[in-house]
Amino acid sequence: MNLCPYCFKEGKLVTGEKIYPHRADLYHLHFWLCEPCDAYVGCHRPNEKHNRDGTESLGTMANSSLRRLRNAVHKEFDLLWKEGGLKRVEAYLWLSAELNINSDDCHVALFDAATCREALEVLAR
């Protein structure tokens, strides 16, 4: 079950065809969706090693404005570890220290709008 952080109702598990009808390459993926709020979040890909069936959310559902903020953070954060010489896990550890949050909670898909804005400030330094 995945609750919408806006209306607190249970989200609906859908495929990528519902979220991205123009992206056939994403049809096989799962997403949690709250249609009234236009909020959604992707799911981890199936992985037997980690006992994931493809329905575990990557984070919290986000509406369009929060999705834009998260995408902006990812754009800057991905540059940090892809081109900055850090491993992804090292970049998240650094960011968690800069944001003064627990490293287990330092994932862009968990960030609210305020944390996204703060992360963008940190990443711009």
Residue appearing with tokens 């940090």:
80
pLDDT given at position 46 = 85
- Cβ burial of 11 (10 Å; 0-12, 13-18, 19+) is buried
Residue 38 has pLDDT above 90, yes or no: yes
**What distance in Å separates the CA atoms of residue 27 and residue 17, rounded to the nearest whole number?**
4
Quick check: 1 pLDDT over 80? Answer: no
pLDDT at 67 > cutoff 80:
yes
Lowest mean pLDDT among 45-49, 60-64, 85-89: 45-49
3-state SS assignment for residue 2: coil
How sure is the predictor about 3, in pLDDT bands with cuts at 50, 70 and 90?
Answer: very high
Q: How far apart are CA 108 and CA 59, in angstroms?
A: 8
Using one digit for the tens of pLDDT, what is the confidence trace for 91-110? 999 999 999 999 999 999 99
Instruction: Report the pLDDT value the prediction gives residue 56, as an integer from 0 to 100.
Output: 93
Sign of CA dihedral 36, 41, 46, 49: negative
Predicted confidence band at 52 (pLDDT cuts at 50, 70, 90)? Answer: confident
Q: Round to whole Å and give the CA distance between 57 and 40.
A: 10
Q: Strand runs (DSSP E) across 12-84, as ranges? A: 12-15, 30-34, 39-42
The pLDDT value given to residue 10: 96
